[in-house]
Structures are given as C-alpha cells and as structure tokens.
Amino acid sequence: MGVTIDTIKENKEKIANLIETFSKAIQKKNCGAEVLELLHGISFYSEQFFIAAGLLLEKYEILSFEKHEIRHMEFVKDLMQFQERLEKGESMLAFDLYDYVKNWFEDYLQGTENEILDQVGEN
C-alpha cells in the first residue's frame, strides 16, 4: 500500500484536531505538560505529513520538492527550539507556539496539500 492523497489528508486532519485542542488548552490556561504533549503530537503527525507529501512531490516530479525539504527542516528546528524553552518553564511561550503552528498549518501545510492536489489532479 503506497502513499496517496488520502494519507496527507488524514495527517492534516489529525494536526488540525491537535491545533484545536491546543487552542482549548490555552483558553483553560493549561500551558505546561499538556502543551508539550500536544507539541509532540503535532511534531509526529507533521513528520508523517512531510514524508507522505515529499513522496508524492517526488513521485509526480513536482518542482517544489526541494523547497518542501527546506521548509520541513526549518519547521523541525523551530519546534525543537519551542520545546526546549517550554521544558525550561517558559509557559507564556505557549501563545507564541500556538500562533506559529496555526499560521504554519494555514499557510504552508494547506498550501502544500493544494499544490499536490493541483499537480496530481485528485480533488
């Protein structure tokens, strides 16, 4: 069973659900361990998304594959920096992390999915 458009859609949905849970945690002022757990989930499913999207970009020879890899590495680096700071007790950072992840999701992840859908022709 290979990677399909459904693979990236499923991971995108899981990330969206985690971001929604993140928003609720911040509203309840649960900015400690719960946020770290959500960050780990977002990291895991974004990695799965990046792998699947990368395979599809490569399979269909979509020119943005290199851009995709660079963006992935930037995202991982940023998440690691957020994680380190949260683990040191900078709980107010949770708001910045939420904004960062939400913007990344809206601007990059959805855009990557749309780019693949446009190129592959599966809508």
The structure's pTM equals 0.84
- 19 has pLDDT over 80: yes
Structural domain tally of the chain?
Answer: 1
In degrees to the nearest 10, what's the CA dihedral of 59, 101, 46, 66? 30
Compute the mean pLDDT over every residue in the chain, rounded to the nearest whole number. 87
Q: With beta carbons less than 8 A apart as the criterion, state whether 68 and 50 touch.
A: yes
Residue 106: give the domain boundaries. Answer: 5-120
**How would DSSP label each residue in 54-75?**
HHHHHHTT-TTHHHHHHHHHHH
Q: How confident is the model at residue 92 (pLDDT cuts 50, 70, 90)?
A: confident
- 123 has pLDDT over 70: no
CATH number at residue 24: 1.20.120.50
Could you read off the pLDDT of 26-60 as tens digits, one per residue?
A: 888 877 788 889 999 999 999 998 888 888 888 88
